[in-house]
Chains A and B, each alone.
Chain A
């Protein structure tokens, strides 16, 4: 995707050398990749958007070797620039396109002989509705040629999409030998990708590179931002849009790390328990653990049932209800507060003069006092990124605390499976909330930036969606970390006699 910016954006042009020699630039410009989702990206605030660092193009040199012809062709080609309508910033409008084009661009890497794969992929885009898709198919074919130019680093720019496209890419390799089945698979994969157009709210788990832990991924991302920040950013305001830094500021990283520690330890414990069992006992337990795992995959498919638009009370109530069914009080569920603050802000930023705004946004320090009726799009962007980081950090904290309480062996009024289902619901609610919130913010941006140049506005909007998408996958990954704790809980409920639970008190989160 970064292809289309090559001609226009100084930052992304750094990517192009890769095409020629297969040499990849070091991470210093990695953050600049992100903005390439939209044409005419500027190196401005969006540069702060962080991609998930596990996406890399380390296998690119290989690809270059395999496809020397293509690469040389690519080098000779002019990047194709495309017009993307500013309007219609729904998920389909933006994400669908990015997904589609990255998918097709990746498919192109498979080899020249299978360009029909693209058609295959395109024709199988039956979901969600032909009319919605048609524009994107068109877009995708536009992108396709350009995609060839840029195959080498195409997986770089996108957070989760890069992982998706990497998945497609690796599938693509087998295409050459695999024949039609594989083609079909690619088509299906593309459909899946499209079906996931709602960014990151499904199945993004599992796409993560499991070799590194989530907190490592995030730490690395933060580190990169810091390095970048220290070397290039001098203005205090620029730091406000660094998701990773903000996420850490809200203690998201720490909670994540702690959660991972608990998860890892519990996993070891579960393994050793399983090893100590045999025969019927083992089979029964395995079966039950399987049920638990199923409950953990629930988050994926119950997402579409409900309409996304919800009132304030709904989210708060839903979270509270869910936690009370976990027998954990959500009195101090900070996410609710963070989220409400965000909504208040959105409300005020659209309607009220700056002076009247509430304390929640005072850190924005809007200098331009002559700007009476609205915040600048940069302010909105900064606040959006901050809110997303905060809500995500709070969600991770919530999961960490839940993990601690589950391990703590609270009186088990609910079974581990029930708990898992509830937690999976919590995950869905949180992710949905992120989605709604990011939409609100982008609406806000669109309204505020109606007079702005698309080159300025679009990257900001993209950044918000991208971070929302990343946030959702972090939350989902964190949710998956809870599984070992619930396994322990399940095992303990089977072995422990109820009498030694009498003294347990309930803790409030």
Chain B
């Protein structure tokens, strides 16, 4: 029986203004909106993807990048299956502070969480401050997957999220994730009828319980 999966949380984190919300919007709505309101706490987005013939619902938590929201965003980490750590290739400072965000993510979530490093705004080549090689090196050093994206041109956006999901999926196959533990942010359930395009296929794996009798 094929399975449907629900990666409950995939995080976007890092500095304010690196384009997390833009990436999310591009991924979920396939559109680019240059100006976003400052994220308060966390915003959400969700999309169904297919990996290995299985329907998977990705729920993405787009956390506030503002330093002052740091302690709040920490509260949200629990139960995340993956995270996208984003920096802005045109702002060196966002790259230099990656370690603090990485530590945050590792500290407040489960150790198996898949983390992908994203260098965003790859369309602004002329203003580039961080070389692609630097990003690659950082990713290698910390065991992350790496990719440069552009939320504006949609370049690699799809791939970034889907590759993160694939990595999570592989970890599940390897048995690294305990899929019965909801703290891992993964739920698996029987595949639903194809008629239920987006919603029904998503969360079927939730623990039953309660209910009448």
Contact = CB atoms under 8 A, between A and B. Distances in A.
| B and A form one assembly | yes
Nearest to A262: B75
A222 interface: yes
A223 interface: yes
Interface string B80-121: 000000000000000000000000000000000000000000
Given A234-B195, A254-B44, A229 B211 contact: no
Contacts of A30: 211-212
B75 A57 contact: no
B203 interface: yes
B204 A407 contact: no
Contacts of B192: 226, 229-230
A18 B206 CA distance: 27
B13 interface: no
A285 B202 CA distance: 46
Contacts of A230: 192-193, 195-196, 200-201, 204
B96 to A, nearest CB: 22
Interface in A23-41: 23-27, 30, 33
**Interface SS of chain B: helix, strand, loop or mixed?**
loop
A91 to B, nearest CB: 26
A239 interface: yes
Given A229-B200, A401-B41, A407 B211 contact: no
Given A33-B212, A56-B212, A224-B211, A508 B206 contact: no
B212 A509 contact: no
Contact of A226 (B61, B72, B204): B204
Nearest to A29: B212
B206 A229 contact: no
Given A226-B200, A231-B193, A25 B68 contact: no
Contact of A56 (B38, B68, B208, B211): B211
Contact of B40 (A23, A265, A404): A404
Contacts of A231: 193
A403 B75 CA distance: 12
B26 interface: no
Contacts of B68: 408-409, 504
Contacts, number: 117
Contact of A249 (B76, B199, B201): B199
Interface in A241-256: 245, 248-249, 251, 254-255
A363 interface: no
Nearest to B43: A251
B31 interface: no
A18 to B, nearest CB: 8
Nearest to A156: B212
Nearest to A220: B210
Residue in B59, B69, B76, B199 whose Cβ sees the most chain A Cβ within 10 Å: B199
B9 to A, nearest CB: 9
Given A248-B199, A509-B40, A265 B75 contact: yes
B211 A27 contact: yes
A217 B209 CA distance: 10
A56 B213 contact: yes
Contacts of A212: 210
15 contacts: A33-B212, A56-B211, A223-B203, A223-B206, A226-B200, A230-B193, A236-B195, A258-B76, A404-B64, A404-B72, A405-B40, A405-B41, A408-B72, A507-B38, A507-B40
Interface of B: 37-38, 40-42, 44, 59, 61, 64, 68-69, 71-72, 75-76, 78, 192-193, 195-196, 199-204, 206, 208-213
Interface of A: 18, 23-27, 30, 33, 53-58, 60, 153, 156, 212, 217, 219-220, 222-224, 226-227, 229-231, 233-234, 236, 239, 245, 248-249, 251, 254-255, 258, 261-262, 265, 332, 400-401, 403-405, 407-409, 504, 507-509
Q: Which 8 A-B pairs have the closest CB atoms?
A: A24-B213, A404-B41, A27-B211, A230-B192, A254-B44, A230-B200, A265-B75, A226-B200
Given A229-B200, A407-B71, 12 more contacts: A55-B212, A56-B211, A57-B212, A60-B213, A153-B212, A219-B203, A226-B199, A233-B196, A245-B200, A255-B44, A401-B41, A504-B68
